[in-house]
Amino acid sequence: MLGVNEFSKNMIFKSAQAGRISEDIALQIESAILSGQQKRGCRLSSERWLLEIFKTSRGVF
């Protein structure tokens, strides 16, 4: 698993945009899967790590 600093070089995901933040996060994850950047069936990184990447709270995520 990549650390946050290593991952930011690849930047599959970016911090969530204003508005429906949860929707933006879902769209980014879906886009990463459909484009092949995130393999289907592979586990995502830990919730804590994803919260840091998306710059959001656990309730939103």
DSSP string for residues in 1-56 = ---HHHHHHH-SS-PPPSSSHHHHHHHHHHHHHHTTSS-TTPPP--HHHHHHHHT-
44 confidence band (pLDDT: 50, 70, 90): confident
Establish if 11 belongs to a structural domain.
Answer: yes
Encoding tokens for residue 14?
A: 């970016």
Tens digit of each residue's pLDDT (9 = 90 or more) over 5-42:
444 445 677 777 667 888 889 999 999 999 999 888 88
Q: Look at residue 40 and tell me if it is in a domain.
A: yes
Residue 26 lies in a domain: yes
pLDDT score of 10:
59
pTM: 0.65
Domain span holding position 43: 4-54
Q: Rounded to whole angstroms, how far apart are CA atoms 13 and 30?
A: 11
pLDDT value, residue 30: 92
